[in-house]
Structure 1
């Protein structure tokens, strides 16, 4: 019996039984891994990541042919043999292992490519775009500055240092899915027919066309998704996995709008929705909105803030309908503006579930 509870994602990718389960090619493997995944193993997230990688690399209804697999295996083997004093996986004894060998050697080929790039100039060795085979493209930022990555569909990704992005070579052809380790800012081209998916550890982010940031470093138990523009839905991978084979799947994701973020705690498996640390003005008309107020009704003040930051402000309209504001809020951050307004009302404010709650019952003194 294999010590599967100690496996990392790359170990699962090299396991022929695991691969047979993902691609539904062996009934015994399907039965075993279905039971295994239903148990709360400490490394279950590693198995889910490996499963997502395999599914993302193989478009639906377009499985690789034997000829393609044989060609790809020969190509990878040729690269492997060129590396001196290395011992690799011995998976090629029979044709039945050809698929497992092809997937396993993706990691080997990528690793060899990285080793080769280390021998060239420091800049080129720090920023790599490795195509291990026709099925997978990996780009890693090993510099100290953000690097701009352009995806085949026109979307851009600002990849932060010590971060890695992976996607299938068929990206954009019926699927737009990427795997992220680290931090990146995405500016996604709108395509309602082909949603854009970001897999980052325990979280899946789904968008149609928007801009947002995902933070998912291995050493941090939390995953954060913050929205700049548009609308984003965030799911837990565990919930998606549980609902995948349901007749009528029901997956309750967290919906985010501009200046909102969600933090997923892997230990507690819960989402916490909040505002970003520094909300920015996202309205196209933000530059022309005046924040100079002279006896302006408080409802109008809140409306301008809501329109500018695209954030909901909740308050008791009947209690504050006669309140006005005389103040200059130009140049202040959102939170500075809220503190000044709350003080003028003799109250305070709270941020709850990504919204601003004004706690005031009158107009102050």
Structure 2
């Protein structure tokens, strides 16, 4: 039996059984590794990192010739280490060649995973709760398509092109925190005891278990956080750091619920809360909800929309209590639905602080 509990990512990458499991090529390997991963392994993060690399590569079963590997590996290693070219390369065992081949394909695919032995000072300032000797893992997407990353706690990240995330090697033990540059969609595994933090330029997003998108490109003046499911709180990093050593910190964050987003302007240091550009159905039974209305009271129409999108619609009930709607809203976006309803009332609507305000004084008759 292999001592898998002591494997590093590079060891998993050269293990035939592990590769067979990732690519679903062997039933026995699938059964073994599924059971192994379900146990509390000390190096589960290493296995997940290797799994992400293999899935990103989607390696074919064809062999790479040793001659090609000898040449290409020398080129890659010289570029990485910035050492002058040597006349020959020593002979290594087959697993080393497979690791080298993986490195070549990895770099060629634009999917980079770097290990930094020690935390850099800037990361230490962001993640003071982490242990000082923890190394850093950086994963960068240099491809033209989104890449899926699995974090050590099982949370997943859909990393967009020209984006990268960093976290300490001890991720999940005392703190779950990542530093994002670019854009990513996070689907976080719930763990009330260890909140999940995303540091993105001037903004810190704190969640327990939810799914959301953070957009924080260096060349954009704003940072945007948009929620798909659950609940998140967004803070100014500056304010959070100022309160870090206060005995009873009072940090005012912006709370977001599904289909809401917040835009942070770094120059003005203000948050603007609003609805996302394309709100989606949130309710579990949303697909079975009918948006065909035949003389239906407007209060019921608003209730159905609120529950489907999990948003708040504010209106004057006393003015609209006798109003009804006869219309088909099926297949329309939320904003198209609101425009049609507002038009029937000879009124309008606006979005303020993530809520919809219906501006109408009567039924429009």
Alpha-carbon distance change, 317 to 169 in structure 1, aligned in 2, over 3 angstroms:
same
Question: Aligned residue for 1:131?
Answer: 115
Distance 2:224 2:358 in 1: 26
> Cα offset for 1:174?
1.7
Distance 2:277 2:180 in 1: 22
Say yes or no: does 1:213 pair with 2:213: yes
Distance 2:162 2:309 in 1: 31
Question: Aligned residue for 1:222?
Answer: 222
For 2:172, what is the secondary structure of its paired residue? coil
Q: Please, what TM-score do these two structures have when normalized by structure 1?
A: 0.68
> Cα offset for 1:248?
1.4
Say yes or no: does 1:161 pair with 2:161: yes
Distance 1:274 1:182 in 2: 21
Question: Aligned residue for 1:274?
Answer: 274
For 1:158, what is the secondary structure of its paired residue? strand
> Cα offset for 1:300?
0.4
> Cα offset for 1:273?
0.5
Question: Aligned residue for 1:329?
Answer: 329
**2:211, 2:230 within 8 Å by CA — same for their partners in 1?**
yes
Question: Aligned residue for 1:84?
Answer: 83
Distance 1:331 1:202 in 2: 38
Question: Aligned residue for 2:41?
Answer: none
For 1:240, what is the secondary structure of its paired residue? helix
C-alpha deviations, 1:321-350, integer Å up to 9, x for none? 110111100000000000111111111100
For 1:120, what is the secondary structure of its paired residue? helix
Distance 2:353 2:81 in 1: 56
> Cα offset for 1:355?
0.3
Alpha-carbon distance change, 321 to 82 in structure 1, aligned in 2, over 3 angstroms:
closer
Distance 1:232 1:192 in 2: 13
For 2:104, what is the secondary structure of its paired residue? coil
- Consecutive unaligned residues of structure 1, counting only runs of 5 or more, are 1-78, 86-115
Q: Superposition pairs for residues 54-133 of structure 1, below 5 Å? A: 83-84=82-83, 120-121=104-105, 124-133=108-117
**1:118, 1:125 within 8 Å by CA — same for their partners in 2?**
no
> Cα offset for 1:128?
1.1
> Cα offset for 1:356?
0.1
> Cα offset for 1:83?
4.1
> Cα offset for 1:121?
3.7
**1:187, 1:210 within 8 Å by CA — same for their partners in 2?**
yes
Question: Aligned residue for 2:258?
Answer: 258
C-alpha deviations, 1:82-115, integer Å up to 9, x for none? 6426xxxxxxxxxxxxxxxxxxxxxxxxxxxxxx
**1:182, 1:216 within 8 Å by CA — same for their partners in 2?**
yes
Alpha-carbon distance change, 182 to 81 in structure 1, aligned in 2, over 3 angstroms:
closer
Distance 2:330 2:103 in 1: 53
Distance 1:81 1:156 in 2: 28
Alpha-carbon distance change, 312 to 217 in structure 1, aligned in 2, over 3 angstroms:
same
Q: What is the CA RMSD across the aligned residues, in angstroms?
A: 2.2
Alpha-carbon distance change, 117 to 219 in structure 1, aligned in 2, over 3 angstroms:
farther
Distance 1:153 1:160 in 2: 21
For 2:336, what is the secondary structure of its paired residue? helix
Alpha-carbon distance change, 287 to 129 in structure 1, aligned in 2, over 3 angstroms:
same
Question: Aligned residue for 1:37?
Answer: none
> Cα offset for 1:247?
2.0
> Cα offset for 1:171?
0.8
**1:117, 1:124 within 8 Å by CA — same for their partners in 2?**
no
- Consecutive unaligned residues of structure 2, counting only runs of 5 or more, are 1-77, 85-99, 118-133
Distance 2:207 2:360 in 1: 37
> Cα offset for 1:132?
2.2
**1:198, 1:206 within 8 Å by CA — same for their partners in 2?**
yes
Q: Please, what TM-score do these two structures have when normalized by structure 2?
A: 0.68
> Cα offset for 1:81?
11
Question: Aligned residue for 1:110?
Answer: none
Count of aligned pairs between the two proteins: 258
For 2:318, what is the secondary structure of its paired residue? helix
